[in-house]
């Protein structure tokens, strides 16, 4: 090897070394801890379990005869080598925006903006395809979609089950009213596999959740003016907004106390009943379905209200409405110690005409409630809630929502039984009648 | 020895300029103005000192003063060997919709307006053996809005107040270099550093309950971009230029605090946010042409294309939809030089007129400003003092917005 060849060889070695060094900088290290995590399940039987326990796997829990395991790719390879049958269960554990409580890069903090809600609803649908499906029930003036999430076993089918409706965000500034129905959806889906009560009510009902009825107003509330209430209708006089909870068709414009004819007013009822795309969306949606009960979430006051809102005259069936409200209030109190008052809307809080609860009650007779979420008054925050209070407020509202769904299921069954009972009696009557004819 | 001290003092002026506050004598606000919308027009490229302002915003082919560094740095070679330029501006804009004004919360019977006075440009230029160098500082964009206060009383007792204010600006520091390439061709390029800020405050108080609701947002801007140009003088009469401003990302660390305080309830609820945002500014390209009828009279025209369809912003972590369209700004101007002899020295009084069509990037409303401008000056020995003004009216939004601007500039040959 001459001098030149030696130099060439030395250069080659140095070059190779430099390239190696550079590649170690450029290429990411394949750290085992960074390998993707999977959740799998295997059938629980004694022989397999023995093998499994010897493999040093991260066993999570047992449920319905299967063992759930946290597994990385090398673990899966090991199971494959042993011909160990397993099922991927990742879809049961969706990565929602859990980090939002900590990141807080956005103006709305832990509360949902329209796009964030859209993303989270899509995530729920994606991870629970058998249980959740998104429907668009309308489009707003600013071309945002009004989403309804249906939750039910066999979600793609329209089954003969009681339907229950939960609405949020009629009023833009009531940010907490988006979170409670959304978290209800999340709770039902995430606990379906593990909680027998949740599974039962999801199996036996069709739960419809419309968490953000007024996305246009909400976006204005986030970006420009926190206390914005109405939608974003440009009125004839140049003012903006219709109070969509004064725009429904029952007792619309009954008087000027429960709503206002003035376009600039916060409680402007609009130019006509159902003049707004948001209320039309709810009207058409409700008319297509056969809802058995409904809650529309608002804030603030910490009360449960039932019809009527437009008058202080008691509604038909008040004992039933009052009884359900009382039960819900009793279930809510122990969770955080907050007491939710209850009563007829017009008599308990203030007069409202053209609101959702009155219209739905008048159209179907179903129990329909406005739940005014905490705080109790302006000095405690008014339309503001701390981000850390979202969870507690939802938690105390959860038993009430579950109770209402369960009540709908029981009521539906009773209603089914009645015609059967009538049919069972009918032949005797017919026979009796025919014998008389004879 | 005199020159270095003069230079030092001029550099001091530049340094002062870079932190000079804008004197904003706000009246009220108006407009289809997004928060980041510069006052008057979105289409800001180059910098119009008095000579170019009076000539219909034309600056790509005609050397005026140190502001050439921002419009077409190739023109720096046509300036005297050593110049210093200062420019002061008084501008007035009317707006209709901005923030909470005329968007639902507060409404006005007429267009709110804002008047501003600012020392907005300073620059040094130097050339030597076919090279030219410039250092300039310019107040490129202003984001101020008319400050607004609303009060409500009952039985002559004040029970509610609402205050809105927005202030902001963007300064541009430019270092340019130009080179002569033969007798008829010149080329120049500039490196630009932009820095600025934008603050918005909205405070409501309910006096009786002692409740205060406040919403504070602040952003800082920084970014780099290149600008450049080339000018060709085909004959002694005809000249043409091509110019550009590179697209660039304006970084924007943003902070926000929304607060609800009610002392009587011992309530203090805050939602704070901080984010590293970005404004992707569009490419701008332009072309200019000028024709000299004789040594005293010339016609000039500039056309600029703003690639606003590529404009993207991320605001507190959220991609915001602006949905802009590309725009064109077209300026046409004429300049006639009247020669005088004063105190045994030749002087020139330039007379300028111009017109500008300036389409705005919003698709709804599809609007554009039309400006008419005029200007004059007095150039004597090594001093050039110019004044220019423009009056513009917007069409398309239905609000007939107005924009007026008067600039006074001084260019000294040292």
Distance (Å, whole) CA B227 – CA B248: 11
* pLDDT number for residue A22: 45
Distance (Å, whole) CA A210 – CA B151: 37
The phi, psi pair for A221, rounded to 5°, reads -65, -35
* pLDDT number for residue B17: 44
Q: Which position has the higher pLDDT, A28 or B187? A: B187
* pLDDT number for residue B196: 97
Distance (Å, whole) CA A193 – CA B303: 66
Q: Is the pLDDT of residue B33 over 50?
A: yes
| ipTM confidence score | 0.87
Which H, E and C letters describe A100-118, residue by residue?
A: HHHHCCCCCCCCCCHHHHH
Which of B 72-101 lie inside 8 A of A, CB atoms? 99-100
CB of B269 less than 8 A from some CB of A: yes
Contact B273 A228 (CB under 8 A): no
Q: Is the pLDDT of residue A61 over 60?
A: yes
Distance (Å, whole) CA A119 – CA A111: 13
Average pLDDT, chain B: 91
Residue B12 CA to chain centroid, in angstroms?
23
CB of B162 less than 8 A from some CB of A: no
According to DSSP, the β-strands at A58-63 and B211-232 are: unpaired
DSSP code per residue over B97-143: -BTTBTTTSB--SS--EEEEEEEEEEEEEEEETTEEEEEEEEEEEE-
Instruction: For residue A9, give every residue at least 6 positions away whose Cβ sits within 8 Å of its Cβ, in sequence order, or none.
Output: A1
Which tens digit of pLDDT belongs to each residue from B161-182? 999 999 999 999 999 999 999 8
Q: Which position has the higher pLDDT, A12 or B409? A: B409
Q: Is the pLDDT of residue A317 over 70?
A: yes
- How close does chain B come to A242, measured CA to CA in Å? 11
Contact B317 A105 (CB under 8 A): yes
Q: Is the pLDDT of residue A41 over 50?
A: yes
* pLDDT number for residue A80: 80
Which tens digit of pLDDT belongs to each residue from B202-255? 999 999 899 999 999 999 999 999 999 999 999 999 999 999 999 999 999 999
CB of B317 less than 8 A from some CB of A: yes
Average pLDDT of span B132-145: 97
Which tens digit of pLDDT belongs to each residue from A226-279? 999 999 999 999 899 999 999 999 999 999 999 999 999 999 999 999 999 999
Q: Is the pLDDT of residue B342 over 70?
A: yes
Domains with residue ranges and CATH for chain A: 32-92 (3.30.70), 114-422 (3.40.630.10)
CB neighbourhood size of A300 (10 A) = 22
* pLDDT number for residue B18: 44
CB of A299 less than 8 A from some CB of B: no
Average pLDDT of span A282-293: 96
CB of B275 less than 8 A from some CB of A: yes
Choose the mutation target among A173, A214, A225 for the interface with B, i.e. most B CBs under 10 Å: A225
Nearest to B16 by CA among B156, B122, B94, B107: B122
* pLDDT number for residue A28: 40
Find the range with the poorest average confidence among A37-51, B63-77, B94-108. Answer: A37-51
The C-alpha torsion from A382 through A383 and A388 to A394, rounded to 10°, is: 110
In terms of average pLDDT, the best of A43-57, A406-420, B49-63, B314-328 is B49-63
Contact B275 A106 (CB under 8 A): yes
* pLDDT number for residue A434: 37
The length of chain A in residues reads 438
Of the pLDDT bands very low, low, confident and very high (cuts 50, 70, 90), residue B30 is very low
CB of B253 less than 8 A from some CB of A: no
B68 in Cβ contact with B367 (< 8 Å): no
Q: pTM for this one? A: 0.82
* pLDDT number for residue A438: 35
Nearest to B392 by CA among B377, B404, B406: B404
CB of B313 less than 8 A from some CB of A: no
Contact A381 B267 (CB under 8 A): yes
Chain B CB contacts of A236 below 8 Å: none
Q: Is the pLDDT of residue B80 over 60?
A: yes
Of the pLDDT bands very low, low, confident and very high (cuts 50, 70, 90), residue A14 is low
Find the range with the poorest average confidence among A180-184, A389-393, B11-15. Answer: B11-15
CB of A107 less than 8 A from some CB of B: yes
Of the pLDDT bands very low, low, confident and very high (cuts 50, 70, 90), residue B23 is very low
Distance (Å, whole) CA A84 – CA A73: 14
Q: A372 an active-site residue?
A: yes
CB of A241 less than 8 A from some CB of B: yes
Q: Is the pLDDT of residue B286 over 60?
A: yes
Rg (CA), chain A: 29
Q: Is the pLDDT of residue A414 over 90?
A: no
Distance (Å, whole) CA B199 – CA B164: 11
- CB pairs < 8 Å spanning A and B: 83
Contact A385 B274 (CB under 8 A): no
* pLDDT number for residue A432: 36
CB of A289 less than 8 A from some CB of B: no
Contact A105 B99 (CB under 8 A): no
Question: Nearest chain A Cα to B211, which residue?
Answer: A379
A39 in Cβ contact with A70 (< 8 Å): yes
* pLDDT number for residue B27: 26
Which tens digit of pLDDT belongs to each residue from A107-160? 999 999 999 999 999 999 999 999 999 999 999 999 999 999 999 999 999 999
**Nearest CB partner across the interface for B269, out of A240, A377, A386:** A386
Nearest to B103 by CA among B395, B403, B399, B404: B399
- How close does chain A come to B253, measured CA to CA in Å? 11
The dihedral built from the CA positions of residue B378, B379, B384 and B386, taken in this order, carries a sign that is positive
Contact B269 A381 (CB under 8 A): yes
Q: Is the pLDDT of residue A100 over 70?
A: no
Of the pLDDT bands very low, low, confident and very high (cuts 50, 70, 90), residue A60 is confident
- How close does chain A come to B39, measured CA to CA in Å? 19
Cis peptide before B107 (omega within 30 of 0): no
Nearest to A208 by CA among A230, A188, A194: A188
**Nearest CB partner across the interface for A387, out of B271, B275, B317:** B271
CB of B260 less than 8 A from some CB of A: yes
For chain B, the helix, strand and coil percentages under 3-state DSSP, each to the nearest 5: 10, 65, 30
Nearest to A321 by CA among A301, A302, A348: A348
* pLDDT number for residue B281: 97
- How close does chain B come to A107, measured CA to CA in Å? 6
Contact A109 B269 (CB under 8 A): no
Average pLDDT, chain A: 86
Which H, E and C letters describe chain A, residue by residue?
A: CCHHHHHHHHHHHHHHHHHHHHHHHHCCCCCHHHCCCEEEEEECCHHHHHHHHCCCCEEEEEECCEEEEEECHHHHHHHHHCCCCCEECHHHCCCCCCCHHHHCCCCCCCCCCHHHHHHHHHHHHHHCCCCEEEEEEEECCCCCEEEEEEECCCCCCCCCCCEEEEECCCCCCCCHHHHHHHHHHHHHHHHCCCCHHHHHHHHHCEEEEECCCCHHHHHHHHHCCCCCCCCCCECCCCCECCCHHHCCCCCCCCCCCCCECCCCCCCECCCCCCCCHHHHHHHHHHHHCCEEEEEEEEECCCEEEECCCCCCCCCCCHHHHHHHHHHHHHHHHHHHCCCCEEEEHHHHCCCCCCCHHHHHHHHHCCCEEEEEECCCCHHHCCCCCCHHHHHHHHHHHHHHHHHHHHHHHHHHHHHHHHHHHHHHHHHHHHHHHHHHHC
Which of A 109-128 lie inside 8 A of B, CB atoms? 109, 113, 115
Average pLDDT of span B380-399: 94
Contact A226 B103 (CB under 8 A): no
Distance (Å, whole) CA B207 – CA B226: 52
CB of B316 less than 8 A from some CB of A: yes
According to DSSP, the β-strands at A291-299 and A163-167 are: parallel
Chain B CB contacts of A113 below 8 Å: 318
SS3 of B310, please? helix
**Nearest CB partner across the interface for B104, out of A228, A385, A387:** A228
Catalytic site residue from A344, A372, A421, A423: A372
* pLDDT number for residue A421: 57
Distance (Å, whole) CA B114 – CA B91: 8
Q: Is the pLDDT of residue A17 over 80?
A: no
Exposure of A430 by Cβ count < 10 A (0-12 exposed, 13-18 middle, 19+ buried)?
exposed
Of the pLDDT bands very low, low, confident and very high (cuts 50, 70, 90), residue A1 is low
**Nearest CB partner across the interface for A239, out of B107, B258, B274:** B107
SS3 of B3, please? helix
The phi, psi pair for B267, rounded to 5°, reads -110, 130
Q: Is the pLDDT of residue A46 over 90?
A: no
Q: Is the pLDDT of residue A103 over 80?
A: no
- How close does chain A come to B33, measured CA to CA in Å? 12
Distance (Å, whole) CA B240 – CA B218: 43
Chain B CB contacts of A382 below 8 Å: 211, 260
For B143-184, strand residue ranges (E) read 145-154, 157-180
Of the pLDDT bands very low, low, confident and very high (cuts 50, 70, 90), residue B19 is very low
* pLDDT number for residue A72: 76
The C-alpha angle with vertex A192 and arms to A188 and A194, in degrees rounded to 5, equals 125
The length of chain B in residues reads 414
- How close does chain B come to A95, measured CA to CA in Å? 19
SS3 of B259, please? strand
The strand pairing partners of A161, in sequence order, are: none
Contact A381 B215 (CB under 8 A): no
**Nearest CB partner across the interface for B267, out of A103, A109, A379:** A379
- How close does chain A come to B162, measured CA to CA in Å? 11
């Amino acid at each position: 090897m001459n001098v030149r060849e030696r130099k060439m060889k030395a250069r080659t070695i140095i070059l190779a070394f430099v390239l190696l060094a550079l590649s170690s900088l450029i290429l990411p290290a394949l750290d085992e801890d960074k390998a993707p995590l999977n959740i799998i399940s295997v059938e629980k039987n004694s022989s397999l379990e023995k093998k499994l326990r010897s493999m040093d796997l991260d066993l999570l829990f047992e449920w319905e005869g299967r063992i759930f395991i946290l597994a990385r790719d090398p673990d899966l390879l090991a199971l494959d080598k042993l011909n160990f049958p397993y099922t991927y269960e990742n879809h049961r554990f969706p990565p929602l925006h859990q980090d939002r409580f900590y990141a807080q890069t956005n103006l709305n903090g832990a509360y949902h903006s329209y796009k964030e809600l859209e993303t989270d609803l899509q995530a729920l649908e994606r991870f629970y395809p058998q249980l959740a499906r998104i429907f668009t029930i309308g489009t707003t003036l600013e071309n945002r979609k009004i989403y309804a999430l249906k939750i039910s076993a066999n979600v793609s089918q329209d089954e003969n089950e009681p339907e229950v409706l939960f609405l949020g965000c009629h009023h833009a500034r009531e940010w907490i009213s988006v979170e409670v129905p959304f978290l209800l959806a999340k709770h039902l889906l995430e606990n379906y596999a593990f909680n027998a009560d949740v599974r039962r009510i999801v199996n036996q009902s069709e739960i419809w959740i419309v968490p953000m009825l007024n996305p246009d107003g909400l976006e204005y509330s986030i970006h420009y003016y926190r206390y914005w209430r109405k939608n974003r209708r440009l009125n004839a006089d140049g003012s903006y907004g219709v109070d969509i909870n004064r725009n429904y068709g029952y007792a619309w414009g009954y008087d000027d106390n429960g709503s206002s004819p003035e376009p600039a007013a916060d409680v402007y009822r609009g130019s006509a009943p159902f003049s707004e795309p948001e209320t039309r969306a709810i009207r058409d949606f409700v008319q297509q379905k056969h809802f058995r009960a409904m809650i529309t979430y608002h804030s603030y006051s910490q009360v449960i209200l039932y019809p009527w809102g437009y008058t202080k005259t008691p509604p038909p069936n008040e004992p039933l409405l009052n009884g359900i409200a009382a039960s819900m209030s009793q279930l809510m109190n122990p969770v955080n110690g907050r007491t939710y008052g209850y009563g007829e809307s017009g008599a308990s809080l203030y007069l409202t005409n053209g609101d959702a609860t009155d219209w739905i009650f008048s159209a179907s007779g179903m129990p329909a409630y406005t739940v005014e979420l905490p705080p109790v008054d302006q000095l405690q925050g008014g339309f503001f809630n701390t981000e850390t209070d979202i969870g507690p407020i939802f938690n105390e509202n959860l038993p009430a929502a579950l109770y209402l769904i369960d009540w709908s299921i029981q009521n539906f069954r009773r209603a089914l039984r009645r015609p059967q009972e009538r049919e069972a009696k009918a032949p005797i009557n017919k026979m009796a009648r025919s014998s008389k004819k004879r | 020895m005199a020159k270095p001290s003069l230079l030092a003092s001029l550099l001091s002026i530049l340094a002062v300029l870079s932190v000079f506050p804008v004197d904003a004598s706000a009246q009220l606000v108006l407009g289809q103005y997004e928060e980041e919308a510069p006052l008057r027009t979105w289409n800001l490229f180059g910098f119009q000192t008095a000579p170019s302002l009076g000539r219909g915003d034309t600056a790509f082919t005609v050397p005026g003063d140190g502001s050439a560094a921002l419009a077409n740095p190739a023109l720096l070679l046509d300036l005297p060997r050593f110049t210093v330029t200062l420019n002061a501006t008084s501008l007035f804009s009317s707006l209709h919709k901005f923030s909470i004004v005329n968007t639902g919360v507060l409404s006005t019977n007429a267009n709110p307006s804002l008047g501003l006075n600012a020392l907005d440009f300073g620059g040094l230029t130097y050339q030597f053996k076919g090279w030219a160098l410039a250092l300039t500082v310019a107040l490129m964009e202003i984001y101020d809005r008319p400050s607004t206060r609303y009060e409500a009383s009952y039985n002559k007792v004040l029970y509610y107040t609402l205050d809105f204010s927005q202030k902001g600006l963007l300064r541009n520091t430019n270092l340019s270099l130009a080179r002569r390439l033969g007798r008829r061709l010149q080329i120049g390029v500039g490196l630009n550093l932009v820095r600025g800020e934008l603050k918005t405050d909205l405070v409501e108080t309910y006096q009786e309950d002692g409740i205060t609701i406040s919403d504070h947002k602040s952003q800082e801007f920084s970014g780099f971009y290149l600008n450049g140009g080339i000018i060709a003088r085909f004959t002694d009469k005809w000249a043409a230029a091509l110019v550009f401003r590179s697209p660039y990302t304006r970084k924007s660390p943003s902070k926000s605090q929304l607060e609800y305080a009610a002392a009587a309830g011992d309530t203090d609820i805050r939602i704070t946010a901080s984010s590293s945002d970005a404004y992707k500014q569009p490419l701008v390209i332009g072309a200019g042409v000028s024709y000299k009828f004789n040594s005293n009279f010339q016609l000039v025209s500039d056309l600029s294309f703003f690639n606003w369809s590529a404009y993207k912003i991320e605001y507190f972590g959220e991609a915001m939809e602006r949905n802009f369209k590309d725009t064109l700004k077209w300026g046409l101007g004429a300049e006639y030089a009247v020669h005088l002899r004063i105190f045994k020295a030749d002087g020139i009084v330039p007379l300028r007129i111009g017109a500008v069509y300036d389409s705005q990037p919003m698709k709804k409303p599809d609007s554009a400003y039309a400006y008419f401008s005029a200007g004059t000056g007095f150039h004597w020995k090594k001093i050039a003092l110019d004044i220019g003004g423009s009056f513009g009216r917007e069409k398309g939004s239905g609000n007939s917005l107005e924009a007026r601007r008067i600039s006074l500039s001084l260019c000294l040959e040292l």
